[in-house]
Amino acid sequence: MPDRLLRLSKDDFAARAFLDDPLPPAIRAIYVAEGMASISAGGTTAALAANSAFFDTGPVSIAAGAEGARLLRYELDPGEADPGGAGVRSERMLEASLGLDDPGGYLLRCDKVELPPGGIAYTHTHQGGGIRCLLKGGFNVRVHDRTTEIGEYDAWFEAGPDPVYAWAPDDAPGHFSRVMILPRRLKGESSIRYVDPEDADKPKLQRYTIFLDEFIET
């Protein structure tokens, strides 16, 4: 099966701005990072505040609230057209290819991870690839002895099987949004595996909030 494209875009809406046309169909998760937005799909409309998420695979219309909105839009197999509208500014943040060949199928998980200042994510892997975007503070990610310093609204990709060691700086938290494409068998279950078994028993300071855990057709 050919690789599939996962893309993260950041959409900034001015006060009460809206899309001229609906977003085309795609496997899509929208995380509201700031402000409020009304998102319509399939004949229903949801009003979402900051720190909430929306999932749909069909056309989607979006309008911002009175104070505007910043959205993180994660799409699997996205189209080429970018959204448009007066007061709407979109930026493609990151794209990554995923090989999806598990006969058991896949799910899309959208969650938020919060580490306090100095918090450590011990060396680990995941059972699927995904894109992350830092929402607040700072973060450091080490893969294969290469360390990347992450700033607010920087995005990065983790393939899944590559061991990752990550930490927040001593003077700031590390809060990030994340979408991963995972095997269906992990619905409601953690995808993390610690490389050193002793790390699995150490106290963990990070906190997870799962917003979406949706089966998808690939």
Give the burial string for 84-105 (b: 16+ CB within 10 Å, else e).
ebeebebeebbebebebeeeee
Task: Using CB atoms within 10 Å of the CB of residue 164, give its burial: 0 to 12 exposed, 13 to 18 middle, 19+ buried.
Answer: buried
Residue 129 pLDDT? 97
| pLDDT band, residue 79 (cuts 50/70/90) | confident
Which of the listed residues 51, 73, 98 is the one where a domain comes to its end?
A: 98
Domain that holds residue 42: 4-98
The mean pLDDT value for 16-22 works out to 97
Residue 218 pLDDT? 85
Which of the listed residues 80, 98, 116 is the one where a domain comes to its end?
A: 98
Residue 112 pLDDT? 98
In whole angstroms, give the CA distance from residue 4 to residue 95.
Answer: 10
Same domain (yes/no): 90, 138: no
The mean pLDDT value for 31-42 works out to 98
Which of the listed residues 98, 119, 139 is the one where a domain comes to its end?
A: 98
Find the CATH number of the domain harbouring 58: 2.60.120.10
Same domain (yes/no): 25, 120: no
* Percent residues over pLDDT 90 in the chain: 95
Is residue 205's pLDDT more than 80?
Answer: yes
Residue 179 pLDDT? 98
Residue 190 pLDDT? 95
Model confidence over 107-166: pLDDT tens digits? 999 999 999 999 999 999 999 999 999 999 999 999 998 999 999 999 999 999 999 999
Residue 1 pLDDT? 54
| pLDDT band, residue 2 (cuts 50/70/90) | low
The mean predicted confidence, pLDDT, of the chain is: 96
